[in-house]
Chains A and B, each alone.
Chain A
Amino acid sequence: MGALMAIIYGGLALMPIFVGGTDHLMHILIMILIWGVVASCWDLIMGFAGIFSFGQVAFFVIGAYASAIVANKFGIPPIFAIFVAGGITAAIGVLVGLPCLRLKGAYVALVTFAVHMILEPFLKGPMGRAIGTGGSRGILTIQPIEIFGFAFTPDHKVAVFYLTLVLAILCSIIILMVIRSFWGTAFLALKDSEDFSASLGVSAFKYKLAVFALTSFLTGMVGGFYGHYVGMLSTRMLGIDLFVTLMIMLVIGGIGHFPGAILGAIVTVTLNEMLSPLGSYRPLILGGLVVVLVLFLPDGVIGLVRRFFNGKSKIQEADA
């Protein structure tokens, strides 16, 4: 796991050597890193903890708005604001998690998706305007992150890229640690048999809430980072497009096979760009791809990679 992650991030770290001069490609690389973290967090929730959370995009947007508002209103430097935003998102995550983690599969999906659905009217409406979301206009001025007087604006894409890379690696290490820790084992046990684990004293609820809080924190923080990088925000991120794109990253990367989600982000973003000139055929192909991949590539690209290198991997055995 760790080795593959190092290879992926190592490879990405070298990319600016080849495309550093092309802003548009650097932007795509930055977005790959950002979506990679968001998708990994989602993978941690769904693939490892077995919670059908559909609120991932919502938490991302909450973090983005929270950070921008905190920085704009209270003058907190963006580099700290993103952590505050992470905290706020985690708090909301816990609020959502408390009632819904006792529910079953499709119910959890619905309640978390409800957060997504309600977020847009909330941000646009009078309540949102009161806290400074700018209503349906959005927030069009967000200051960039500054470290030692250097502003990480979209004009300095290579610098932003490396800052994003540091952030992404940090998040990924945290995720990796969680998976390798006692938590990870607990989740595997829970997935196998919740009743049996409970009888052994593994409290499903406690661990699920903790992982929900953690991923919300990371997602919110990355969301905040996104806002300060792009410099503007609107509710247009809450369309179905981004939601589905993130899900495709998971499917391509392989659910529950970290760091597959990061690979998924690389492949999906690239594919999305290459298909973009095709107009309506792009989502058509993506949708068809999801169906085919879920059916024929159950462990995603990562399963393929593992199968390629060690003939009979654990995954295959588990699947049989």
Chain B
Amino acid sequence: MLIEYVDVFISGMTNGSVYALMAVGLTLVYGVSKAFNFAYGSFFSLGGYLAWILLALVGIWGGYISVFLVALPLLMVFGYVTEKLIVAPLRKRSDWEIKVMMLTLGLALFMDNLFQVVFGSRMKSLPPIVDGVLEVGDLVVSYQDVVIFILSISGILAFRWFLNNTRIGMAVRAVAQNPEGARIVGIPKDRIFAATFGISTVMVGLGGVLLAQKYFVSPSGGWDILVKSWVITAFGGMGSIRGGLYAAFILGMLEAFVGYWFGMTWVLFALFGVLLATLAVRPQGLLGKWG
């Protein structure tokens, strides 16, 4: 009995770590610039396809390490440019929050179908980062899950370090806390907005690479990720990174245990049920403040 709960617990932790990585990027952009990125799921797929191009098409030397070295900067540039080109011009308009949502939804549709036209509608697979399983007594964990867990957590830690210890990171926090004040002390707000967009693209793209080797890549595979990240950020409090982390692990566990006890069909009901209950009590989510 106990061993099964440990098994389900591990499944929940694996889910949680990946969700955390995804949700942090989404919550960052919302926290800093109040923009909600509907194309987040497509950015996830973009990460997966980039890895596929590098590994399967180009056959890059050095395997996944080279993939990270090449793909992550590319994603950063992609995110930065996207913000500058199509999100920033909207900022001055009335109703800009709705318009950003609509625009990014259009972008999602465009990107997903571009993937389909370019790569075909059939899924692409990547070689696993590592093979084999770790056996501890009756417990079996694949090394793949271990690596995903470690890399996700390292990604988040690196990001925290970046926010707390670098000049750009501190500027990002300043803009999030008090945009007006940040402007007065001379922080280039527009550039910070674009930078956060780029960083969030890197986070979700990294998630895309990590998950692509376990779950594969397909043109519209990002929607699931978008919805889950969205639920997590709202649950944890949009804009709160710590809240997002807690939410990711709580929901990851919830998913695993509801799936185990009641069946997979109930997972979605449970997720939204918990979200609604939380928002009814705390409209700003668990930790609805920057922190």
Q: Which of B93, B279, B280 contacts A298 (CB 8 A)?
A: B93
Question: Does A201 lie at the interface of the complex (its beta carbon under 8 Å from any beta carbon of B)?
Answer: no
Do A283 and B113 form a contact, CB below 8 Å, given A107-B283, A118-B268?
Answer: yes
Q: Which of B103, B113, B238, B285 contacts A294 (CB 8 A)?
A: B103
Main secondary structure of the interface of A (DSSP, over half): helix
Q: Which of A109, A111, A294 contacts B106 (CB 8 A)?
A: A294
Question: Does A196 lie at the interface of the complex (its beta carbon under 8 Å from any beta carbon of B)?
Answer: no
A114→B67 CA distance, assembly (Å): 35
A287 touches B113 (CB 8 A): yes
| Nearest-neighbor residue (CB-CB) of A291 within chain B | B106
Residues of chain B lying within 8 A (CB to CB) of residue A117: 227, 268, 272
Chain B nearest CB from A36 CB (Å) reads 18
Question: Does B199 lie at the interface of the complex (its beta carbon under 8 Å from any beta carbon of A)?
Answer: no
Size range of the chain B interface in the assembly: 35 or more
Residues of chain B lying within 8 A (CB to CB) of residue A319: 93-94
Q: Which of A103, A105, A295 contacts B103 (CB 8 A)?
A: A295
Interface pick from A82-90, A211-219, A222-230, A250-258: A250-258
A287 touches B106 (CB 8 A): yes
Q: Count chain A residues whose beta carbon lies closer than 8 angstroms to a beta carbon of B.
A: 45
Residues of chain B lying within 8 A (CB to CB) of residue A247: 102, 105
B110 touches A284 (CB 8 A): yes
B105 touches A244 (CB 8 A): yes
Chain A residues in the interface with B (C-beta under 8 A): 46-47, 50, 52, 99-100, 102-107, 109-111, 113-114, 117-118, 121-122, 125, 240, 244, 247-248, 250-251, 255-256, 280-281, 283-284, 286-291, 294-295, 298, 318-319
Chain B residues in the interface with A (C-beta under 8 A): 30, 34, 36, 86, 89-90, 93-95, 97-99, 101-103, 105-114, 116-117, 121, 220, 223, 227, 230-231, 234, 238, 265, 268-269, 272, 275-276, 279-280, 283, 285
Supply 20 A–B pairs (Cβ within 8 Å), ascending by A: A99-B276, A102-B283, A103-B283, A107-B279, A110-B231, A111-B275, A114-B275, A118-B268, A122-B269, A247-B105, A280-B113, A280-B121, A284-B110, A284-B113, A287-B108, A287-B110, A287-B113, A290-B107, A290-B109, A318-B94
